[in-house]
């Protein structure tokens, strides 16, 4: 019930391509879905987030698509760049707590 399942585990994309990372959840009490980006040797940093009353959120080249009925959400990185090479984590939390459940992470490598 508390899990967030993330796929793929790793992803290799050519520069300029689209990177897509998928997450699925079971607990319908989750009401906030952030994505974090982590570079080697650093802590994760918030990239973009969405609430379940919205089906899509876009910030620059990063877009979250959210499918409430399927309990799935995904991160799309358009025009992927070598500087996007990092590990990406989806996460989910429940409103009146600060409990945050992370997916297992996707290592993205963007080659020139």
Partner 1 sequence: EAQVTQNPRYLITVTGKKLTVTCSQNMNHEYMSWYRQDPGLGLRQIYYSMNVEVTDKGDVPEGYKVSRKEKRNFPLILESPSPNQTSLYFCASRQVGRGYGYTFGSGTRLTVV
> From the centroid of its chain, how far is CA 62?
10
Nearer to partner 1, 15 or 28 (CB): 28
Looking only at residues 32 through 71 of this chain, which bind partner 1 when binding is defined by CB under 8 A?
32, 34, 36, 41-46, 49, 51
**Whole-angstrom Cα distance, residue 26 to residue 67?**
13
Q: Which of 30, 75, 89, 110 binds partner 1 (CB under 8 A)?
A: 89
80: left (phi over 0), alpha (psi -120 to 50) or beta: beta
Nearer to partner 1, 13 or 23 (CB): 23
Vertex 108 angle, CA 49 and 57, to 5°: 20
Question: Which positions lie near partner 1, rule CB under 8 A?
Answer: 2, 6, 9, 32, 34, 36, 41-46, 49, 51, 89, 95, 97-105
């Amino acid at each position: 019930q508390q899990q967030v399942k993330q796929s793929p585990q790793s992803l290799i994309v050519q520069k300029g391509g689209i990177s897509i990372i998928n997450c699925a959840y079971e607990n319908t009490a989750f009401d906030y879905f952030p994505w974090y980006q982590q570079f080697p040797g650093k802590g994760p940093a918030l990239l973009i987030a969405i609430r379940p009353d919205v089906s899509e959120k876009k910030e620059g080249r990063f877009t979250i698509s959210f499918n409430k009925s399927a309990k799935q959400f995904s991160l799309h990185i358009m025009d992927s760049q070598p500087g996007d090479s990092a590990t990406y984590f989806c996460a989910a939390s429940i409103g009146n707590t600060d409990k945050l459940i992370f997916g297992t992470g996707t290592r993205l490598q963007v080659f020139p």
